[in-house]
Structure 1
């Protein structure tokens, strides 16, 4: 009878030790936010750790999401040149902004050929 009791006791101690080790391991992996949530504490004005792009686009909600369209339309042309809709009919402003942008992005000065092409296309679309 004593070996059964000893075996039962050893089993209980082993299971308790295993459960304790697993619990400690899980607790070490918890973040501060998870610990606060488990204790019913809700932190305010703290980033929830969203993705990089969520944070990036939240800085400027007017920023266009995604890449260029295949054909440049008026709205995209305005975005490319950094102009507002009221500047559509101001040809001198379009030319001035085009000149500034092309000087910054010209391939001869280390800029991208693709961006220079898009800037030129944006000017063409707005002047037509």
Structure 2
């Protein structure tokens, strides 16, 4: 019967709360929460850095595009000046463009009408 009492004693000790065991479980839970929180914070900082890198790259791309567009604007303005000068010189040589109708509107300037004479004679 001594064996029966030993087995019952060991079974009984398993069901009784061990002093400090509950505190250890709480500490373990707290530590697990801290680890999870630390990992979540690292992940958040990494995402934030990646977003900043992406924004920086996009900003650099837009700056390069802006420079290219400003160069294009300069070239187009130069082209506009050139063609305006060509038009002014042509207007002084071509009476069909300079002639005004009675209502103040330019008559149509078709190549077949205005340039019906030989080009060498037209621009003399």
> TM-score scaled by structure 2?
0.39
Tell me: higher relative CO, structure 1 or 2? Use CA pairs within 8 A at least 6 residues apart.
1
The structure number with the bigger radius of gyration is: 2
> TM-score scaled by structure 1?
0.38
By percentage of residues, which structure has more helix? Answer: 2
